[in-house]
Each structure stands twice: as structure tokens, then as C-alpha cells.
Amino acid sequence: MKTTIIKIATTTLFISTVTVAQTPITDKKGVGAKEASLEIKSQSKEWKSKYKFFGFSQIGVRLGDGATADNQNGDYKFEADRIRLGWKYFSGPIAGKVFLDFVKEGKDNSGIGVPDLIKDAFISYKFNSSAIVKAGVIKTPVGMGFTIPGWNLDVIKRGFDKRLAFERGFGLMLSGRAIGGSAKVNGLEVGHERPYNGFGYDIMIAGQAGRSGAVVGANSGDDNAYMGRIMYDRGQALHLETSYGISKSAGGIDIDDSIIGNQGTEDYKVFNFGIDSHFERSNIKAEYYNVQNIRGDDDWTMATLALTGTYYFSDVIEGAVKHIIGSEGRHGVDSDVSNTYFGINYYINPKNAKMDRKARKGRNQHRIQLNYVLADGDTNSFKGVGSFFRDDTVLVQYQFKF
């Protein structure tokens, strides 16, 4: 598997490099320049296709009391959040995407049917912008923040989002965007990657959500998950969405109980609501989760709220604050924790001077993030699912993206 991946990536990179297209752009000072785009275009009179090779890496360090786990002695910890390579394919109504995370190489713990190395691997067919069918390993349509790409986060860590969401699933999805409005739709959309106008939806059936932190004991084919999302967009100013999902037998299936028709664990259920609004130099987000039957336990629930605000002070400096609250109820014991991120994002040699949400994709190519995380609440007793710091922590990360 590893050798095949390396061969594919090497071959793609070589072909892309020797056939690189030189595309004129204009920098923030209005000076004409050339930028290499790793795209390959094939076409004849009747047939066209395009391939795009892309990737990014995030290398960082944690400092302070919350830098390492309780059983570690280091004062700091170096880490790679993501090291990813991928490629996209387009030909008429057909599109496809493969995305690999080499931080996950060698791991296969989720039970969805493919190694954890594979983040995305799906094909799509676009009948029109209101009806797009996708099949394969796809980001599930549960949770607003989780569908924001990892290279586009306001602060370094996601918080509770990823592990409470269904993460990625192996299944079939029907999607639509810009219903009653207008927007560019390429068939690979899994969230609100760009500003739309109008309504949108995603409906997905898949195997168990084994990559969720709230589902354990998943095995491909044991049971299923069902989920859906509806959204409304009004350009940059407003994005609203709500989603709901069920992953069956969230604590795994007991073979003996299954024989007599009782699988023995409850279904994990998730409700999510999110809002994202952009106003000139500022952006605000709010997201709420309410989940039940974590890991199949009918007496384990959580609710979380994340509030985020950012502001561009200059063409290269952005400030960010994110406050995350988690409340847990488990076997008669209630506990609460919070993490508050205070961050500075420094954009090195940004592609443009635009501040809108869509332009962020180009600005994030070279970025340094500095976060101070303030931990509060029942940090020693909280057992809830999700990533949070039990002590105050300093995070630093450098991102390179192409």
C-alpha cells in the first residue's frame, strides 16, 4: 500500500511539474506576476479533463503546563497536526478526489473499511447544482466547524468538533447547493467552502461512524449511519445550517446478543446548529452540539458551544478569539470545562490583500499561528469526548500549503 501511494504521488508530481501552467496574477500592489499552478489539462474537440495536485503540512509545538499528557515529563511537545497530499479530477459532470494524511499512516483503527491514512476517496456525478451524487469515503454532513478544511481554521485546534461529529464515512451522499440562488458548484462540495446564495442540503447513508470519537467497536458491515444537513446562505454575510445524524450500535455489536436480536448498545445521536457571518475585516461563528448515547451508553450525554471571532488588523496580521464550553452528564455526575483561545495569525507573503472568506484560501498558503489557551472548569473530572486542554497551553504552528 505504502509503495503504491509513493509511486502515485511521485508520478503525479513529476507530470505536474513538467507540464506546469503559468497563470498571470496580480499581487496586492498591482504588479503583474507569474504563479505556477500544478494542473494538467487534457482536451480534444469532444472531450476535456483536468487534474489538480495539492497538499499542505502543519508543523507545531506545544508549551506550558498543558503541553503534554499527565504521564509525560516533557515541558514541550513537537507535533505534526496534518501532513497531506491529494489530487482532484474533473471531466464534464464527473469529479473525483483522493486525500491522504501521512500522520495517520500505519493506523487502521476506525473500522469504516479503509485505512486511516485515507481521508477522502470519492467520486461524484453532477446532474446540476441541485442534485449531485457522491460515493466513497466522504466528510460526513454533521457539524459546521468540522467541514471547514483543516488548513482554514481560525485557531490551531478544532476543540470538541471533530470527535463529536461523525468525521468521515464510507457511503453514498446526495447533495445540492445554491437552490433558489446562484454560485459556482464543482461537485466536490462537502460544506460551505465558498459563499453561496440560496439553500443547500446533504443526505448521506454510510457504515457506522467509526472515526467519530463517540463511536467504538465499529466494523465494516456491522451496522449503518444516517445523517442529513440543510443550510441557507446569503453571500458573505450569512451562513446558517443545521444537521442531525444517527450511528447505530455506537458501542459495538456483541455477537451473543446479536444472535438473539439484541445488539446491546444504543445509537449515537447528534444534533448540530451553526452560523457563520463575514463583515469586511471581521468574521463571527457560533456552533452548538447536543449529543446522546456516547459510545452506546444511554446515560452519557454532552452539549457544547463554540463562539469564534476574528479581525484583520492589517494585510498580514489577524487576531482570533475562540471560546469553547463543554457540559457532560454521565451516570448522575455533571461536569463542565472550557478552553479559551487567544490567537494571532501571521500571513507570510499572502497571495492577495482581500479579507473575504473566499480569498482566505490563497492567504493561508504560508501562515504562522500563535495561540494561548486558557483552561477552566472541572478539568480533572471531565470525561467527555473531544479534544480539550486541562491546563493552560501555548501553541505555535507553521503551515505550508500549495
Phi-psi region of 361 (alpha: psi -120 to 50; beta: other; left: phi over 0): alpha
Contacts of 10 (CB under 8 A, 6+ apart): none
pLDDT of residue 397: 97
Using alpha carbons, select from 122, 86, 90, 97 the residue that is nearest to residue 12: 86
* DSSP string for 318-373: EEEEEEEEEEEEETTEEEEEEEEEEEEEEESS-S----STTTHHHHTTEEEEEEEE
Alpha helices in 19-60 (DSSP H): none
Instruction: Locate 374 and state its grid cell.
Output: 486558557
| Partners of 395 in beta bridges | 62, 371
Contacts of 125 (CB under 8 A, 6+ apart): 93, 94, 132, 133, 187
pLDDT of residue 229: 98
CA dihedral 365, 67, 288, 108 (to 10 degrees): 80
pLDDT of residue 101: 95
Is the separation of the CB atoms in 317 and 363 below 8 Å?
no
Residue whose C-alpha cell is 473500522: 111
CA dihedral 147, 274, 129, 278 (to 10 degrees): -90
Using alpha carbons, select from 255, 295, 261, 253 the residue that is nearest to residue 386: 295
pLDDT of residue 240: 97
Between the alpha carbon of residue 157 and those of residues 95, 111, 204, the distances in Å are: 30, 25, 27
Between the alpha carbon of residue 314 and those of residues 54, 71, 281, 285, 344, the distances in Å are: 28, 42, 9, 21, 12
Between the alpha carbon of residue 376 and those of residues 216, 322, 381, 386, 393, the distances in Å are: 28, 14, 12, 15, 12
Alpha-carbon distance of 311 to 194, in angstroms, equals: 19
Q: How many domains does the chain have?
A: 1
List per-block mean pLDDT (blocks of 10 residues) for the chain, which spans 402 residues.
43 38 39 48 72 94 73 78 95 96 83 94 96 97 93 93 94 96 89 89 97 93 96 94 97 66 78 95 96 95 97 95 96 94 95 80 89 94 88 95 90
List the CATH number of the domain containing 268. 2.40.160.10
Is the separation of the CB atoms in 301 and 294 below 8 Å?
yes
Distance of CA 313 to the CA centre of its chain: 26
Residue whose C-alpha cell is 452528564: 329
pLDDT of residue 4: 44
Residues of the domain holding 209: 2-401
pLDDT of residue 42: 63
| Partners of 10 in beta bridges | none
| Partners of 231 in beta bridges | 200, 241
Residue whose C-alpha cell is 489530487: 87
pLDDT of residue 354: 83
Is the separation of the CB atoms in 385 and 365 below 8 Å?
no
